[in-house]
């Protein structure tokens, strides 16, 4: 009897894990993508920890359709806890001239692609996925995370405040500063990496 109970337990557990894997496998690209937008190194470790925690709370997933958001939420929780453990949630010192910076205006004034009729658009499409990631990595985590979650992964500001365990006003302020920082870093990165070379005469 004991043997058959053991066997059925093993089978049940295997089936649960199979079901889990079937459910999460299609989500791995977006989960890994989110992890790579949040951290410079260790994206795979972050996904692994999220998967481990997700598997432990597999029973709390009410409907399969919610898998993507459920997994991303767990991943952000792991990221936040890790950030806290490493004491990285430090407010950054103000950056001079940041409030006055406008990428739109800088492009008009510098005119880096004089032959382009659609310069602002051309500037953006010069950035490949890895370029965008590099720009994100130049932002302190406190600004990067809200920006990524809001504008790249579609979380609402309220959800972000809850996930990052910060007051709504703090998240709104970080989004504001983060957007400015992101635009300025886009410009700095484009200049430093010669990103627009070869596009200037198109």
Binding region for other proteins (CB under 8 A)? 17, 20-21, 24-25, 28-30, 32-33, 36-37, 44, 47-48, 51-52, 55, 99-100, 102-105, 108, 120-121, 124-125, 127, 129, 132, 151-154, 157, 172, 175-176, 179, 183
Report the distance separating Cα 142 and Cα 44, nearest Å.
21
Between 89 and 153, whose beta carbon lies closer to other proteins?
153
Between 73 and 89, whose beta carbon lies closer to other proteins?
73
Taking the complex as a whole, the smallest distance from the CB of residue 129 to other proteins amounts, in Å, to 6
Taking the complex as a whole, the smallest distance from the CB of residue 86 to other proteins amounts, in Å, to 23
Taking the complex as a whole, the smallest distance from the CB of residue 52 to other proteins amounts, in Å, to 6
Between 25 and 93, whose beta carbon lies closer to other proteins?
25
Taking the complex as a whole, the smallest distance from the CB of residue 8 to other proteins amounts, in Å, to 20
HSE, CB side, 13 Å, CA atoms: give it for residue 159: 16
Between 30 and 57, whose beta carbon lies closer to other proteins?
30
Report the distance separating Cα 189 and Cα 126, nearest Å.
11
Report the distance separating Cα 115 and Cα 129, nearest Å.
25
Taking CA 144 as the corner, what is the angle to CA 138 and CA 149, rounded to the nearest 5 degrees? 145
Taking the complex as a whole, the smallest distance from the CB of residue 2 to other proteins amounts, in Å, to 26
DSSP letters spanning 117-186: SSHHHHHHHT--HHHHHHHHHTS-HHHHHHHHHHHTS---HHHHHHHTT--HHHHHHHHHHHHHHHHHHH
């Amino acid at each position: 009897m004991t043997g058959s109970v053991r066997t059925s337990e093993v089978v049940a557990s295997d089936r649960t894990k199979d079901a889990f894997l079937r459910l999460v496998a299609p989500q791995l690209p977006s989960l890994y993508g989110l992890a790579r937008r949040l951290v410079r190194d260790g994206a795979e470790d972050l996904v692994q920890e999220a998967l481990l925690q997700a598997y432990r709370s597999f029973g709390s997933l009410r409907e399969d359709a919610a898998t993507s958001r459920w997994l991303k939420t767990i991943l952000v929780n792991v990221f936040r806890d890790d950030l806290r453990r490493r004491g990285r949630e430090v407010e950054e010192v103000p950056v001079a001239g940041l409030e006055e910076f406008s990428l739109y205006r800088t492009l008009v004034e510098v005119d880096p692609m004089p032959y382009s009729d659609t310069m602002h658009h051309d500037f953006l499409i010069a950035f490949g996925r890895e370029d965008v990631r590099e720009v994100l990595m130049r932002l302190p985590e406190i600004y990067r995370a809200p920006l990524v979650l809001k504008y790249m992964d579609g979380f609402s500001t309220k959800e972000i405040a809850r996930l990052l365990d910060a007051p709504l006003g703090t998240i709104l302020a970080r989004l504001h500063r983060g957007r400015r920082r992101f635009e300025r870093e886009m410009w700095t990165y484009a200049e430093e990496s010669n990103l627009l070379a070869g596009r200037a005469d198109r």
